[in-house]
A and B are shown apart, each in its own frame.
Chain A
């Protein structure tokens, strides 16, 4: 029995390309579910098939086999117009829409509902302004799209998707070109759209850290092209994140930081005494960068730190992390 909130699901889905007689399967045997009111992040290495999967789920590309069910019916049974009322998509493509106003661009989201000439009625206008409110872009309604920053533009594209009034919103790397602040802001807004507006939101991302803090569930494409899905924290604790990249990519997942770090071959070991967790974290960071591991007290060098200006190396005081590093370099 399926969860009543499930809006989109797949059964034994294979995605890939068909050209003439040759079939290239990229992912197969996928059984996935997406529910109303949840934000799901699709994680995976470059070229693993994230975009192909998203294209298939959004109905742009036909599945090789298996089925995608949306709102209780096989996706292939919907007309393009019906589908456009069920799924809206946000890409990162540059568009030629610079000379449209924000309002005009968002009103394109009403396309599946308007008549022959696209005339908007009162209801359409209300939905457009609500969509702009939802992403906090109402004040820019009459500005040209060309005058917006990348982050603002992305919000407007999300507003356009909202105006489409589809229960499912699929976004292909929505934060790819954004700075950290806009990235966090966009993710926060997507999260609230899921919680407050009951949208089912599926997005692909390379921003592991941001995804882990915002996504309720993860769809994780392992490096061997198998898929695992689950609640974010379960996935972390089950060690699923570690399977994102193959060993030869030389990165490993840091469960505390919730992000990937470069694998380092340490050349030296020192012992570190420090009770301040923040200070300990950043001294360790500096040591690791210099290929120094922190280990047990048997090591020949012993570092103690009580504050950032009170560090000792084998009893000799240092007044900064920089000085500590100089002293270590002299000894190792």
Chain B
């Protein structure tokens, strides 16, 4: 039992190292491994551009993918346990829709673009964070009014529909250029976080993931259902609110920096549970974070392979990996431990 957990965690860690390295080596320009190590160690590379590509493009992209993958996966796990529902995920509660709405307002109504200028970048970022925050506050307000978790989930889905409808309206009334940059943002990509912006992204995601580890004990109690958790002395509402804030922050930060990335938050916790054969959050949470990072890196690697056409949008790849897993889980529900 113990060894299975150790093996899973170690293989995930090794997979991350391998995939991370692969993301530095592969891309539109062929750079040999020696060129990559030279660039990383700050030595003179054979060609000057290699160093620029590795340090300013591939390294931040790989770091972003690692952190974003882990953040979305952890966010999904927190939501699945909070809502006692295996189909809960960051994109279902309206939090990413809220971010999208914020970005849509910036890009479509205020005429901002995904341009490289510092001002426009930060207004998009602020829009995404603000949009997510507003949805989250609304959700928390409802959370203190409705006791049933299932009802809260439905309210989340409804809010998500409202946000989507507002986005459609904005799209309808906006310029072609605005729609274009919004669509590009909506495709999701890990390459938008440049080296100088990486520290902000990295510290936000790392702090939120670290805080999630402090919730391991109430998360395990919640596995028994709210009524049992309450009897174990867990303050259900306070815990639920903390979990919503954490998962909301994780989703909002990733969506703000990378666009709405679908499926990762939904499928990764399932992959981690299936691999561990356990839903004990003491191992499940780290395994989910590691698996999220590994799968995001894998998606990034796939996205850069057809080098001459540039980078494939991440959201075109995640469903290809995600849908078969979801279907497998639905078909094998009866055999899967954590459903029984």
Which A residues contact B (CB, under 8 angstroms)? 58, 60, 79-81, 83-85, 87-89, 91, 93, 95-101, 104-105, 108-109, 111-112, 114, 116-118, 142, 144, 146-147, 164
What would 16 A/B residue contacts be, using CB atoms closer than 8 Å? A79-B233, A80-B235, A85-B233, A87-B231, A88-B231, A91-B228, A95-B224, A96-B84, A98-B337, A99-B273, A99-B278, A108-B221, A111-B234, A116-B214, A117-B217, A146-B340
Contacts of A109 in B (CB 8 A): 232
Task: Answer whether residue B330 sits at the interface, using C-beta atoms and an 8 A cutoff.
Answer: no
Q: How far is the CA of A98 from the CA of B227 in the complex (A)?
A: 17
B216 adjacent to A60 (CB under 8 Å):
no
Q: How far is the CB of A110 from the nearest CB of chain B, in Å?
A: 9
B277 and A144 contacting across the interface, CB-CB below 8 Å: yes
Report how far A147 CA is from B279 CA in the complex, Å. 14
Contacts of A112 in B (CB 8 A): 232-233
Q: Does B187 contact A (CB under 8 A)?
A: no
Query: Roughly how many angstroms separate A104 CA and B337 CA in the complex, as a whole number?
Result: 14
When A116-B217, A144-B277 are in contact, do A95 and B234 touch as well, CB less than 8 Å?
no
**Inter-subunit contact A84/B232 (CB<8 Å):** yes
A93 to B223 CA separation, bound complex (whole angstroms) = 12
A165 to B280, CA, bound (A): 22
B165 CB, nearest partner CB in chain A, Å: 32
Q: How far is the CA of A164 from the CA of B230 in the complex (A)?
A: 13
Residues of B within 8 A of A104 (CB): 220, 278, 280
- Contact of B338 with A by CB under 8 A: yes
Q: Which of B176-214 contact A (CB under 8 A)?
A: 214
Chain A to chain B: the 7 pairs with minimum beta-carbon distance, closest first: A84-B233, A99-B338, A146-B340, A118-B217, A99-B279, A81-B233, A111-B232
A97 with B223: CB separation less than 8 A:
yes
Given the interface pairs A111-B217, A116-B214, A144-B277, the reply to whether A101 lies near B1 with Cβ below 8 Å is yes
**Contact indicator B228/A95 (Cβ below 8 Å):** yes
Query: In the bound complex, do residue A100 and residue B233 qualify as a contact, i.e. CB atoms below 8 Å apart?
Result: no
Asked if B326 lies at the interface with its beta carbon under 8 angstroms from chain A, I say no
Indicate if the CB atoms of B225 and A96 lie closer than 8 Å: yes
For the complex formed, measure the closest distance between the CB of A314 and the CB atoms of chain B, giving whole angstroms: 59
Check B338–A146 contact: CB distance below 8 A. Answer: yes
If A108-B223, A111-B217 are given as contacts, then 13 extra A-B residue pairs at C-beta distance below 8 Å, sorted by A number, are A58-B231, A60-B230, A84-B233, A89-B228, A93-B228, A95-B224, A96-B224, A97-B279, A98-B340, A99-B273, A99-B277, A100-B223, A117-B217
Q: Does B282 contact A (CB under 8 A)?
A: yes
B118 at the interface (CB under 8 A from A): no
Complex contacts, A144 vs chain B, CB 8 Å: 277, 337
Q: Given the complex, which residues of B lie within 8 Å of A91, measured CB to CB?
A: 225, 227-228
Task: Tell me the bound Cα distance from A233 to B112 in angstroms.
Answer: 82
For B, the interface residue count at a CB cutoff of 8 angstroms equals 30
A101 to B233, CA, bound (A): 22
Q: Determine if B309 is an interface residue (Cβ-Cβ < 8 Å).
A: no
> Which residues of chain A are within 8 angstroms of B227 by Cβ–Cβ distance?
60, 89, 91, 93
| Closest-CB distance, A103 to chain B (whole angstroms) | 9
B173 within 8 A of A: no
B339 at interface, CB cutoff 8 A: yes
What CA separation (Å) do A95 and B214 show in the bound complex?
Answer: 23
Shortest Cβ distance from B339 into A: residue: A98
Minimum C-beta distance from B185 to chain A (A): 36
Closest chain-A Cβ to B234's Cβ sits at a distance in Å of 7
Chain B residues 127 to 164 lying within 8 A of chain A, measured CB to CB, are: none
> Chain A: which residue is nearest B338 at the CB level?
A99
The chain B residue with its CB closest to the CB of A85 is: B233
Q: A116-B217, A118-B216, A146-B337 are in contact. Are A96 and B223 (CB under 8 A)?
A: yes
Report the Cα distance A235→B232, complex, angstroms. Answer: 35
Interface string of B308-340 (1 = CB under 8 A from A): 000000000000000000000000000001111
Asked if B279 and A111 make an inter-chain contact with CB atoms under 8 angstroms apart, the answer reads no
A87 to B276, CA, bound (A): 33
| Interchain CA distance A246-B180 in the complex, whole Å | 72
Contact present for A108 and B84 (CB under 8 Å): no
Which chain A residues border B228 with CB–CB below 8 Å? 89, 91, 93, 95, 108
The verdict on A108 contacting B224 (CB below 8 Å), with A80-B233, A144-B277 known, is yes
Given contacts A60-B227, A60-B230, contact A98 B338 (CB under 8 A): yes
Nearest A residue (CB) for B81: A96
CB distance from B184 to the nearest CB of A (A): 39
A108 and B340 form a contact (CB under 8 A): no
- Tell me the bound Cα distance from A98 to B273 in angstroms: 11
Q: Which residues of B contact A60 (CB under 8 A)?
A: 227, 230-231
User: When each residue 212-256 of chain B gets 1 if its CB lies under 8 Å from chain A and 0 otherwise, what string results?
Assistant: 001011001101110110111111000000000000000000000
Give the residue name and chain of the B residue nearest to A118 (CB): B217
Chain A residues within 8 Å of B340, by CB: 98, 146
- A160 CB, min distance to chain B CBs, angstroms: 8
Complex-state Cα separation, A114 to B234, whole angstroms: 12
Q: Flag if A118 contacts B282 (CB, 8 Å).
A: yes
A95 adjacent to B225 (CB under 8 Å): yes
A79 to B230, CA, bound (A): 12
Across-interface contacts of B1 in A (CB, < 8 A): 101, 142
Q: What are the residues of chain B within 8 A of A97 when measuring CB–CB?
A: 223-224, 279
Considering only CB atoms, which chain B residue lies closest to A153 in the complex?
B340
B278 near A100 (CB under 8 angstroms)? Answer: yes
* A111 touches which of B233, B276, B282 (Cβ 8 Å): B233
Which of B232, B338, B339 has the most chain A CB atoms inside 10 A of its CB? B232
Inter-chain CA distance A315–B228, complex, in Å, is 65
B338 to chain A minimum Cβ distance, whole angstroms, is: 4
B231 and A89 contact, CB distance less than 8 A: yes
